[in-house]
Every structure is written in C-alpha cells, then in structure tokens.
C-alpha cells in the first residue's frame, strides 16, 4: 500500500499530501483548478492580487503544531504580522470601535461601552481560554470514531464544563447587556457557519482566539500560506497535477483501486478525498459504495454561501482597517435569512477586508484592494439580477459607512456567489463552508474521516471533524493521515 491519490489541493489536501509523502507514501494530488489553495485561491487582475477566500489567520498555535511535524516553524515558510487593530467594527449609530491587539485597551473599551464591562470581559476570557485549551486537548485533535466515544466519562464531564450543551447567545447575554458587546462576541460564528442561537456555547472559545492569541497577517496572504504548504508537500516528494478534474473512484469489491480524471487513470492503494464530501460521495462513487444517503444530505444544516465582490479601487480608503465588520444593519434579520427563512437579506451585515492596509504588494501604488462579503443561505438562486442587487446593497452599505462614494473609483470588479462555488469547487448547494457547526454536526456527528463502505478511502477537509476554517483543515489532514497509517499497519499485519 504505497500509492496514495489525493483528490483536491485545498488546505486539507495539501496538508495531507505533505504528511503522507513524509511518511514515505507515493503521493499524487489531482486538482481540478489550475492552482493550489482551493477556497484560498488567488485572483489577479489589473495589478491587484485578491485572496479569494479566507483572510483571517487565527489560531497561530495550530499552524506551529503542524509545521513542527516537519521540524520547522511558520516563520521558516512565511512572515507574520500581528494586526493592530485586530479589526474595526462599525455599528448602527455610525460609530466605530477598534478591537486592539492589547488586552488592556480592550478592557478599557468594554468598560467604556458598559460599566463593569472590563470585569465581565476578564471573566469571559478566562472561561474562553479554559474552553479553548480543554477543547484542543480533548476534542479537536481527537479522531472520533463513533458514539462509543461519548461514553468516555472524562469527555462527558468536560463536555458539560465546556458548555458543549448550552447556547452561545444565552452565554453571552448572561455576561453582557450591551447589544454592541454581544455582537462583538458572536460575529465570528458566521465563520463557523452558525448563528448565535444554534451554536454550542463551547464556541465562546473563539474569544480567546481573537483577544488573546491575536489576529495575524501572513505575508503573501492566505494564498501564500497555501503555496507554502504546496512547496512543502513537493519537497516531501508529492506530485501535483493541476487542471485534473476527477470523474470517478474505481473500485474492486470494498476497495478503491484507481482514480479517473480528465488527465488519465491513476492507480491507487489508498485515496484521500479533500474535495467537497457530498460531491465525492454522490458523484465520484457508485451508489452501492456511498456511506450517506440522499436523505442524510437533505437533513444536514449546510453552512452559508456568500455574495463576495473583489474590488480594485484607484484611490485609498483610509477609514477602513485591515479587517472590518459592518454590523450596522439588521443583524437578527440577516441571521434569520441565513438559517431560519432562507432568502436574500434586505439589510445585510458585511465583512470588508482591506489587505492593502498592511501589504503594498496586493494593489498598485495609491490603489486599494477590497474584499466585500455578505454571508447568505446556501442553495439560493443567484441569477444575474440577484447578484447585482447584492452588489448594490453591499456598495451602498460601504459608502454609508465610510461617508463617501466609491463607485466611480472601481477599476476591477469580480463577483463570486453560489454558482461560482458550485462551478469552481463542486460545492454542495453552493456552500462556502461545508456543514455548519451545530451540536448535531460536531465531532463524530460530522461525516466520517474514513468511508464506511470503501475501506481504503479517507476524507480530510472542512466537512469532517474538527470542521470549518484553515486551522481545522490542517488538523483534519493530520487525523486522516493517522487513520490511514493505522489502516496500512493493520493490513500489513493481517
């Protein structure tokens, strides 16, 4: 069992390829697009370089732990700058607030907004840090194989203490009265594909990530991190074939024997699928070899898609920080339109990234590189009219926020919505993020790392445990690698 074919060169596929090649496997990565990174692809036009997907480099410890497996550190691969402010939040009343890289300033900010806020934040962060450490030690790096794991007493005790079974919005509401502070502590749930009323209170751990571990900018952007992993995997001996859409996984009995793609047939002793789980199961495998039914997928809570626009402006927009949250509009309505009554929001909350605030290489001199994102329910019809309407909503919200018009300054403009996620990545219902982090889609309740029907087929990416986000996909790759190596050993001893 030497030859491993990896389907997809997203973060999950790149990380798994590097790990497996280091173990001595003969690794070939087949990627349908023409570059590595998957959702973290790069788009270049008119002198602008856009990170197409992720832009928040969070949980630096996870990256450190990953590179340590290769005897290196992130700094050996790319530079990192801690962002200060970490991000800027624009509220209803037109006021903006900076979350700083420094705890004392954040305590003062909370106290200013709500008397007693500093003490409440200290308490909240202490709990958040405990949750983070315990979750990392006991849940996140763990290979959950099934419900049996829940019988682990230790896990149940910690699950209760970690607030795995409480609701995030209630936890925050108990600690803070001011609506702005509540929003500040729950905005990042959208990145987990969840709303405050559906997310387990465990995700309060994200406050530790934001406030203590910090928000960082990797030099070269998130695509630069993906390219570092690509180079690392190649150095370990992995081969890459781009422009190679996989069309089928070939089977003999319960085992995969080869992978068919537009560039040929690749014999395999094992397959690691990084492409969207639903696509692999429903399109690349024959009916009898699927672990999950159509009904299973129909009942999943799919994480949001997004209406994104990449904008190249021919002038600076100094009112914006690197990361900006425009929460001045109908926050509750927007969450409802994503999770409860799927539809296009009327008054969306937006995320605006301005990487040119930090990195001059991403835009021509005197210009600005902007990424505007409005999360939207997966599966919506995004015809041309709907897309243009979303663009108009986003531009007007941004113009209101910065107090000036920008339409006349747009030199580059590219929209990316549901249909692009589906066409570019084979995304299930056009989702940006896979499956939401609801309690019922956590740990072993997420789709399995190993196929239940095809013994030598493994999965690594945002659909599996531990879940969504670049750091999580690095961990997923390590768990899948461990599972694959254990399977090889078992087979060798059989």
Ligand X SMILES: Cc1cc2nc3c(=O)[nH]c(=O)nc-3n(C[C@H](O)[C@H](O)[C@H](O)COP(=O)(O)OP(=O)(O)OC[C@H]3O[C@@H](n4cnc5c(N)ncnc54)[C@H](O)[C@@H]3O)c2cc1C
* Of 461, 465, 478, 488, the one binding ligand X by CB under 6 A: 461
* Of 28, 96, 106, 274, the one binding ligand X by CB under 6 A: 274
Residue closer to ligand X (CB basis): 110 or 132: 132
Euclidean distance between CA atoms 118 and 335, whole angstroms: 28
- Residue 54 lies near ligand X (rule: CB under 6 A): yes
CB of 463 to ligand X, least distance (A): 7
* Of 183, 279, 322, 354, the one binding ligand X by CB under 6 A: 279
- Residue 186 lies near ligand X (rule: CB under 6 A): no
CB of 248 to ligand X, least distance (A): 9
Residue closer to ligand X (CB basis): 176 or 323: 323
- Residue 473 lies near ligand X (rule: CB under 6 A): yes
- Residue 426 lies near ligand X (rule: CB under 6 A): yes
- Residue 155 lies near ligand X (rule: CB under 6 A): no
- Residue 207 lies near ligand X (rule: CB under 6 A): no
Eight-state DSSP code of residue 165 = T
Q: Binders of ligand X among 360-379, rule CB under 6 A? A: 373
What is the pattern of x (binds ligand X, CB under 6 A) and - over residues 7-46? xxxxxxx----------------xxxx----xxx------
* Of 100, 306, 321, 370, the one binding ligand X by CB under 6 A: 306
Residue closer to ligand X (CB basis): 55 or 176: 55
- Residue 275 lies near ligand X (rule: CB under 6 A): yes
Two tokens at 336?
């409802």
Euclidean distance between CA atoms 206 and 209, whole angstroms: 5
CB of 35 to ligand X, least distance (A): 9
The span of 140-148, 181-189, 386-394, 466-474 binding ligand X (CB under 6 A) equals 466-474
Total number of residues binding ligand X (CB under 6 A)? Answer: 39
- Residue 462 lies near ligand X (rule: CB under 6 A): yes
* CA distances from residue 399 to 310, 316, 407, 412 in whole angstroms, order as listed: 16, 13, 9, 17
Nearest of 159, 226, 145, 229 to residue 479 by alpha carbon: 145
How many other CB atoms are found less than 10 A from the CB of residue 34?
A: 9
How many other CB atoms are found less than 10 A from the CB of residue 262?
A: 12
Nearest of 129, 194, 190 to residue 162 by alpha carbon: 129
Q: What are phi and psi of 97, to 5 degrees?
A: -140, 135
Euclidean distance between CA atoms 410 and 395, whole angstroms: 11
Residue 437 near residue 430, CB atoms below 8 Å: no
Nearest of 158, 164, 53, 106 to residue 416 by alpha carbon: 53
Eight-state DSSP code of residue 188 = G
Residue 232 near residue 18, CB atoms below 8 Å: yes
* Of 470, 475, 479, 480, the one binding ligand X by CB under 6 A: 470
- Residue 355 lies near ligand X (rule: CB under 6 A): no
Residue closer to ligand X (CB basis): 363 or 378: 378
CB of 221 to ligand X, least distance (A): 11
Euclidean distance between CA atoms 383 and 389, whole angstroms: 10
As beta bridge partners, residue 439 has none
- Residue 245 lies near ligand X (rule: CB under 6 A): yes
Q: Are strands 410-416 and 368-376 parallel, antiparallel or unpaired?
A: unpaired
Residue closer to ligand X (CB basis): 107 or 302: 302
Cα dihedral sign, 192-197-203-206: positive
- Residue 323 lies near ligand X (rule: CB under 6 A): no
Eight-state DSSP code of residue 167 = B
Say how far residue 355 (Cα) sits from the centre of its chain: 18
Residue closer to ligand X (CB basis): 15 or 204: 15
Chain residues that interact with ligand X, rule: CB under 6 A: 7-13, 30-33, 38-40, 53-56, 58, 191, 245-246, 274-275, 279, 306, 308, 373, 425-426, 432-433, 461-462, 468-471, 473
């Amino acid at each position: 069992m030497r030859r491993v074919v990896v389907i997809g060169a997203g973060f999950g596929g790149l990380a798994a390829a590097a790990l497996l090649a280091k173990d001595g496997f003969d690794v070939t990565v087949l990627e349908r697009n023409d570059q590595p990174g998957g959702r973290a692809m790069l788009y270049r036009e008119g002198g602008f370089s856009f990170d197409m997907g992720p832009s928040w480099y969070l949980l630096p410890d996870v990256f450190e732990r990953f590179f340590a497996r290769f005897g290196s550190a992130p700094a050996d691969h790319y530079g990192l700058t801690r962002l200060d402010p970490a991000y800027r939040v624009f509220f209803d009343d037109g006021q903006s607030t900076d979350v700083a890289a420094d705890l004392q300033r954040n305590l003062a900010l909370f106290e200013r907004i709500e008397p007693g806020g500093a003490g409440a934040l200290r308490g909240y962060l202490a709990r958040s840090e405990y949750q983070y450490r315990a979750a990392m030690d006991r849940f996140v790096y763990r290979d959950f194989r099934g419900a049996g794991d829940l019988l682990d007493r230790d896990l149940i005790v910690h699950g209760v203490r970690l607030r795995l079974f409480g609701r995030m919005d209630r936890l925050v509401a108990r600690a803070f009265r001011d609506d702005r502070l509540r929003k500040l502590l729950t905005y990042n749930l959208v990145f987990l594909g969840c709303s405050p009323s559906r997310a387990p209170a465990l995700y309060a751990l994200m406050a530790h990530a934001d406030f203590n571990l910090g928000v960082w900018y990797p030099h070269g952007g998130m695509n630069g991190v993906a390219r570092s992993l690509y180079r690392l995997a190649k150095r370990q001996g992995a081969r890459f074939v781009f422009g190679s859409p996989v069309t089928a996984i070939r089977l003999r009995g319960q085992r995969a024997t080869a992978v068919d793609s537009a560039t040929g047939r690749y014999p395999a002793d094992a397959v690691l699928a990084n492409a969207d789980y639903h696509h692999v199961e429903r399109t690349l495998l024959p009916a009898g070899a699927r672990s999950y039914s159509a009904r299973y997928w129909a009942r999943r809570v799919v994480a949001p898609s997004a209406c994104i626009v990449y904008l190249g402006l021919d002038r600076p927009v100094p009112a914006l920080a690197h990361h900006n949250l425009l929460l001045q509009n109908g926050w509750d309505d927007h969450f409802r339109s994503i999770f409860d009554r799927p539809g296009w929001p009327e008054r969306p909350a937006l995320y605006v990234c301005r990487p040119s605030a930090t990195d001059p290489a991403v835009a021509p001199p005197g210009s600005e590189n902007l990424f505007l994102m409005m999360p939207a329910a997966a599966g919506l019809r995004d015809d041309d009219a709907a897309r243009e309407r979303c663009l108009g909503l986003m531009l007007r919200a941004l113009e209101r926020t910065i107090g000036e018009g920008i339409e006349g300054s747009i030199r580059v403009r590219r929209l990316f919505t549901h249909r692009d996620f589906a066409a570019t990545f084979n995304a299930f219902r056009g989702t940006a993020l896979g499956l939401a982090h609801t309690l019922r889609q956590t740990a072993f309740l997420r789709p399995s790392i190993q196929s239940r029907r095809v013994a030598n087929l493994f999965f690594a990416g945002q659909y599996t445990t531990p879940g969504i986000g670049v750091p999580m996909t690095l961990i997923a790759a390590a768990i899948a690698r461990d599972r694959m190596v254990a399977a090889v050993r078992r087979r060798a001893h059989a």
